[in-house]
Amino acid sequence: MLKSHGKRALFVTASTVALSAFLLVPLAATASASRQSPLPTMLPANHLRALFDVGVTNSVTPSEAADGASATVKLKTFTSTVTDPQNSKKYTYTMVGTNPEVKGTSSSTTIKTLLVPLVIKYPGGLSWNPAAKDSCDTGASAVTRTKNSPLFVNRAWTLDGTSVGTGQYIDAFQRSNFWYYTGPTGTNSGFSIHMGMTTLPALTVTVPGADAHDFPNGNGCGNGYLGDVNINWLQTYLQNTAIPSLSSEGVNASTFPIFVVHNVVAFTGNNPEDCCVLGYHSAYSHSGTQTYAFADYDNEGSFTGFSDAAGLSHETDEWMDDPLVNNPTMPWGHIGQVTGCQANLEVGDPLSGTTFRVTSGTFTYHLQELAFFSWFYRQSPSIGLHGAYSDQGTFTTPAAACT
């Protein structure tokens, strides 16, 4: 993912690691009996931050990426170039699917997507099960809500007042992102991208005691706690144990596994106070180049500007537009969650915490607004919907230079 000085740190306070962040409501965090290492009995509220991708290392080298691209089993992607008019520099980028700017014989892509519920258990007895209902939402489990969300259920989309067709959110975003080409009068109006989702049986893991911490959650629902695990342990477990164990379920380099937890976050720097990472997407070398995502379906009330599917909408769209987490841009920053300068194509970061509501069935979800391709590469006019620079129209000009 991104380096710790630039990404995902919206409304960051205290010690700085930066990658996608959402604002955290002040939360009195009393150490619980299940913690294996001591914390202050009361953490100041501003020590807790909602983050994305902090502390995660993207381990795909350029040579490994090249090997992955030539492998027989691989993710459907395309690679192209764009020139930023501000510095006249040409940037090479890779995205999932087919090139929206080029009309082909098949402009529709479906990626096999495996939703993996991850049951988290602590040695002290606490557990969080995303496949089970609890008092945080007595109507449905986190997994059921996720499956029924606009991330996976097709619907008619109106973004910034204009119909952009029927599909999932990633499709609606990407069509609006490249609207000059994919709109009704564009050369590639048949473009689409779809996550063909299957839910796998839940995996259950007991977190080692030294990596297992928690805080009283926002409204006391469920088991009453917000789980807080060491992201170093989490990434190692997902890459070295969970993903290899799912090969018999069809997980391979051509697929997109998504690990979903419920009211569980991660801490960085081996310090439970460096909290809270609510999701990340990554890629690593494993029988080719394997991409995957992790996200918390959060409904325990600790976070403002973030709930239910917002975090996963952030990660799935960033995966689509930066699957190897290495698409370069001219530096941008001092906006959204990013307190410094950042130089990659992570479409959620500039608008972290900016969400909008979408009703699917009888439930209203929160989704992340996302920045357009033209915002990052300073294209004017924008090739995005309405000539805007984000899918809800918040951005009306390209990214400013960052120093």
Q: Could you tell me which residue, 376 or 352, shows the higher pLDDT?
A: 376
The count of domains in the chain is 1
pLDDT at 387 over 80: yes
Residue 151 lies in a domain: yes
pLDDT at 123 over 60: yes
pLDDT of residue 367: 96
Cβ proximity of 178 and 170 under 8 Å: no
Tens digits of residue pLDDT in 126-143: 999 999 999 999 999 999
What residues make up the domain containing 105? 5-387
Residue 134 lies in a domain: yes
CA distance 12 to 195: 32
pLDDT at 23 over 60: no
* Mean pLDDT over each residue of the chain, to the nearest integer: 86
Q: How many other β-carbons are positioned within 10 Å of the β-carbon of residue 28?
A: 10
Average pLDDT over residues 72-97: 95
pLDDT of residue 4: 29
pLDDT at 36 over 70: no
Residue 187 lies in a domain: yes
Average pLDDT over residues 210-227: 94
Secondary structure of residue 201 in the 3-state scheme:
coil
pLDDT at 39 over 60: no
pLDDT of residue 68: 73
| Sequence-ordered strand ranges (E) for 217-267 | 225-230, 256-262, 264-267
Helix spans in 45-121 (H):
62-70
pLDDT at 49 over 70: no
CA distance 274 to 387: 39
Would you state the structure tokens that stand for residue 239, as one six-digit string? 């890459």
Query: How many CA within 13 A on the CB side of residue 15?
Result: 14
Q: Could you tell me which residue, 133 or 48, shows the higher pLDDT?
A: 133
Strands 48-52 and 5-8: unpaired
* Residues above pLDDT 70, as percent of the chain: 86
Q: Could you tell me which residue, 39 or 275, shows the higher pLDDT?
A: 275
Q: What contacts 185, CB < 8 A, 6 or more positions away? A: none
Please give the backbone phi and psi of residue 342, each rounded to the nearest 5 degrees, phi first. -135, 150
pLDDT at 380 over 70: yes
CA distance 298 to 183: 34
pLDDT of residue 54: 66
Average pLDDT over residues 318-326: 96
Average pLDDT over residues 191-206: 98
Residue 97 lies in a domain: yes
Would you state the structure tokens that stand for residue 17, as one six-digit string? 């690691």
pLDDT of residue 59: 63
pLDDT band at 161 (very low <50, low <70, confident <90, very high): confident
Cβ proximity of 372 and 388 under 8 Å: yes
